[in-house]
Amino acid sequence: MNKTKRKIFETSMKLFAKKGYDATSIEEITATVGVAKGTLYYHFSSKEEIFNFLVEEGIKLLQNSIEIKTSKLNNYIDKIKAIVLIQIKIVNKYEDIITILLSQFWGNEDRNKKCKEQVYKYINRIEEIVKLGIEAGQIKNGNSKVIASEIYGLICSTLVYKQQEDFEVMKMYYEYENTIINGLNPKM
């Protein structure tokens, strides 16, 4: 991604997270980035395309991080631990993209559907790992779709806790390890 496209991407992400999709205009994006509309339209054909790109890139970031880390692990509880830690780190570092995903998840507009599609794609990957862990006897028997949704939803809710001064990634991870992960272990 070239420098201008990245600047449009990052600026749009901040504006969409802060003001919402509807309240953010192309004019505001171009003014904040410091480019002409023609330059923006060279990289993106519309505000909707910028939004779709943001959502796709955000989910891709999560999925790629998880694929890299979990592929090296054999134990499914360890894979879930890696997912939890990665997702907490991404919520911490990329708060804006998580805010956009959560704020645009509801509704029937194309962008809401796009958000749902991308989030479900990510949750389905967690579900696959949970399902394989259940089959291997390494994760307690349960509804893998519900468990995957719980993992995603609970960790996204970290945004609420993150607003407090004493937020630390590893402190949060150990809390989740104590509740979520230990709750999945069939030996506990």
pLDDT in tens, 29-60: 999 999 999 999 999 999 999 999 999 988 99
- Residues 163, 157 contacting (CB under 8 angstroms): no
pLDDT greater at residue 121 or residue 188: 121
pLDDT greater at residue 147 or residue 188: 147
pTM: 0.87
Q: How confident is the model at residue 167 (pLDDT cuts 50, 70, 90)?
A: confident
At a CB cut-off of 8 Å and minimum separation 6, what does 16 contact?
24, 51, 54, 96, 100
Q: How confident is the model at residue 182 (pLDDT cuts 50, 70, 90)?
A: confident
The reported pLDDT for the residue numbered 1 is: 77
Residue 155: Cβ within 10 Å count: 22
The reported pLDDT for the residue numbered 187 is: 81
- Residues 82, 70 contacting (CB under 8 angstroms): yes
The reported pLDDT for the residue numbered 68 is: 95
- Residue 104's SS3 state is coil
Taking the C-alpha atoms of residue 171 and residue 114, their distance in angstroms, rounded to an integer, is 33
Superfamily of domain 1-45: Homeodomain-like (1.10.10.60)
The reported pLDDT for the residue numbered 165 is: 67
- CATH architecture of the domain with range 48-184: Orthogonal Bundle (1.10)
DSSP state of 137: T
pLDDT tens-place string over residues 3-26: 999 899 999 999 999 999 999 999
Q: How confident is the model over 54-83, as a mean pLDDT?
A: 93
Q: Domain limits of the chain?
A: 1-45, 48-184
Asked if pLDDT for residue 78 goes beyond 80, the answer is yes
The reported pLDDT for the residue numbered 161 is: 78
pLDDT tens-place string over residues 82-129: 999 999 999 888 889 888 988 898 999 999 999 999 999 999 999 999
